[in-house]
Amino acid sequence: MNIFLSRILRAIKLEAQLFEEVEADQTALPQALGIVILSSLAVGLAALSKGLVASVFSGTLGALLGWFVWSYLIFFIGTRWLPGPETKADYGQVLRTIGFAAAPGLIAIIGILPFLYTLAILVSTIWMLVATIIAVRQVLDYQSIGRAVIVSLIGWIIFMLISWLFRLIF
């Protein structure tokens, strides 16, 4: 099986070792980028079932920007504010692992069936959040999942505030 496809499936299965693998693989950034794009396209195509045509383009652009911003927030919070004793990570490592954590977003494509849209978006969003928490734990070498949850939630809250301000201004 293709390495990229295998990694996607392992990320969807929430394999912690996959996140360690892509953390160490400096060549995995294009794969992480591909996952973020494919995941956002899956969500955008599902939105077509609700007549939200603009969601495909704007959603992909927003997902890419969001990936960079949220990854940076997680990097900054996790390495500067709440590092563990073993925490040693650079932004590239965090960017790669958070990109792979978007893999469960691919299941949102089943939302193209109008009666499954809400469920598909809800399930894929929660699944991506869980994948992100696992990725954060692995990339920041935390001993407990609790610290990863806290870093992810703080990053998410700050990211949501930035998104809200961005939408308000533009």
Region 90-105: mean pLDDT is 98
Q: Which residue range forms the structural domain that includes residue 35?
A: 3-169
Name which of 133, 135, 111, 132 is nearest 59 in CA terms.
111
Domain count, the chain: 1
- The pTM score is 0.94
End-to-end CA distance of the chain: 44
Residue pLDDT, tens place only, 35-89: 999 999 998 888 888 777 766 777 788 889 999 999 999 999 999 999 999 999 9
List C-alpha distances in Å: 106 to 8, 41, 102, 119, 121: 9, 8, 8, 13, 10
Question: What confidence tens digit (pLDDT) does each residue in 98-144 have?
Answer: 999 999 999 999 999 989 999 999 999 999 999 999 999 999 999 99
